[in-house]
Amino acid sequence: MYKLKEIADKVYYVGVNDRQKVLFENMWPLPYGVSYNSYLIIDEKTVLVDTVDVCYSDIFLKKIEDALGGRTLDYLIVNHMEPDHSGSIRLLRQLYPNVQIVGNKRTFDMLEGFHGINTGLLEVKDGETLNVGRHQLSFHLAPMVHWPEVMVTYDATDKILFSADAFGTYGALDGAVLDVDMNLDHYWDEMRRYYANIVGKYGNPVQKALQKLSGLEIKTICSTHGPVWTKYIPDVIKIYDQLSRYEGQDGVVIVYGSMYGNTEQMAEAIASSLAEHGVKNIVMHNVSKSHASYILKDIFKYKAVIIGCPTYSNQLYPEIDSLLQKIEVREVKNRLFGYFGSFSWAGAAVKRLAAFGEKMNWEVVGAPVEQKQGLKPDKYEACWELGKAMAERI
């Protein structure tokens, strides 16, 4: 029944779209939905690469059954054990009891832990190969991209890289599967947001994986989320390379918290100054309105960050505190940092922002501005100077 997309000769897309989930990982908004990608190779042996979230197993299994056309499933390759990709393994095994599950030592530890499966396993080591007919598959460990068991599978015959979550994006597939067949506009920032939210901490492992894979000739990248990449592979690799090196583009993200508008006034003054001094890419986030998911995306995207915060019970404003914790977890490196804040009787926020910048080892640009109560001309001027200093530095 299904007219499945054939990505290469007898390699089919059998993934599903999730347009219902509101928050990925119960944390990150999904305005465009998300896809869980899975791929089926029909050869002398039949091979499935990864599964999908258990909520979509019914439709997923129907697609596989349809594509197999009465044949059985010989192998399931498990590149990644996160439940959005491993969720259907138990049901798949019930339907195809003889399927051999291909993974590495760490995969199998998780397979037992999540699904109680410990038989019918084919353990592979880094670089090992599996011949399934016309297709010659090899397995390459990519630990901590972004889980320890992650590996990628390379099809040397059709030069396809099944890359697990690497090169994935948020965003369901609205009809088309291949990058060349769709309007990609929203995927680029969704890729950055996915990276910043999910993979962000693991820049070094991503760099190692990129180097390791650089020797392979790759014509198609089949990630577990988002479009299948062909023509745009260089763009996708460039984005991942930049993000994992924490290399920001020219631009400034201003994030501020404000209850009554005084700190916000400072942010406005800094933004006007940045613009006046020639900065075009300025993104402002009111931390209480913008979801942290988007703020993190912009902090990964741009090289300069200016954070403003009122003092709250002798601490940072809680929403800013929470954001700083998320940045710290991701070990974001090499940012130009400006900061400012306000108080009414005993300031604490600016001191804490200074400590944060030091901890992150970020380069402080301009003089921090601390304002008591309402904005006065001298503090307005100081904000202007901070904006100017940042504009000159980037």
Binding site for ligand FMN (CB under 6 A): 258-264, 310-314, 342-347, 373
Q: Which is nearer to ligand FMN, 2 or 260 (CB)?
A: 260
CB 282, CB 298: distance < 8 Å: no
Q: What is the DSSP string of 329-369?
A: HTT--S-EEEEEEEESSS--HHHHHHHHHHHHTPEE-S--E
* 59, 198, 291 from 30: Cα distances, Å: 21, 13, 11
Find the farthest-apart pair of alpha carbons in the chain and give their distance in angstroms, rounded: 78
Q: Give the contacts of 322 (CB within 8 A, at least 6 positions apart).
A: 292
Residue 108 Cβ vs ligand FMN, minimum distance, rounded to whole Å:
52
Q: Which is nearer to ligand FMN, 322 or 373 (CB)?
A: 373
**Strand blocks (E) in 46-115:** 46-49, 75-77, 100-103
Residue 236 Cβ vs ligand FMN, minimum distance, rounded to whole Å:
40
Residue 316 Cβ vs ligand FMN, minimum distance, rounded to whole Å:
10
Q: Give the contacts of 104 (CB within 8 A, at least 6 positions apart).
A: 123, 124, 125, 126, 139, 141, 149, 151
Residue 386 Cβ vs ligand FMN, minimum distance, rounded to whole Å:
16
Residue 388 Cβ vs ligand FMN, minimum distance, rounded to whole Å:
22
Q: Which is nearer to ligand FMN, 163 or 265 (CB)?
A: 265
Half-sphere exposure of 228 toward its Cβ, with a 13 Å CA cutoff? 24
Residue 216 Cβ vs ligand FMN, minimum distance, rounded to whole Å:
52
Q: Which is nearer to ligand FMN, 223 or 311 (CB)?
A: 311
Q: Which is nearer to ligand FMN, 220 or 262 (CB)?
A: 262
Q: Which is nearer to ligand FMN, 234 or 345 (CB)?
A: 345
